[in-house]
Amino acid sequence: MKKTQFTLEYKTKTIEKLIGDPDIMINHFMFGHGEGLPVHNSNSNVYMIILKGKLSLKLDALDEIHDAGEILTIPFGVKMHVRNEHDEPLEMFVLKAPHPDQYLKQNTEVI
């Protein structure tokens, strides 16, 4: 058994890579007002579990706000902008399955 601890209280922008097995990657994010990630494409199938606060999420041209208690499913290759535009801290888990390395391996194999 392996035990992994994650941060329980927001103090500053937090990005924790908790699990990195071949089948899955699990990250823990906490963002204050105005914090987030740069625009990027999803590098795997992404599952966002919003624990606290509100997530401002732009997927391609669609820009929406999502609440705590929601689970979002985002397929591989979607342009996304993840951020917190609200006063309350945002906390969420992000699961990627399979691990993004699996997509890299598929794209670099010689046929």
Provide the pLDDT for residue 104. 75
CATH number at residue 39: 2.60.120.10
**How many domains does the chain contain in total?**
1
Provide the pLDDT for residue 108. 56
- Domain with 47, as residue range(s), is 15-108
Provide the pLDDT for residue 109. 53
> Would you say residue 29 lies in a domain?
yes
How are strands ordered across the β-sheet holding 54-59? 40-41, 79-83, 54-59, 62-67
CA distance 47 to 108: 25
> Would you say residue 2 lies in a domain?
no
> Would you say residue 80 lies in a domain?
yes
Q: What are the 10-residue block averages of pLDDT along the chain, 111 residues in total?
A: 94 96 96 98 97 97 97 97 98 96 69 47
> Would you say residue 50 lies in a domain?
yes
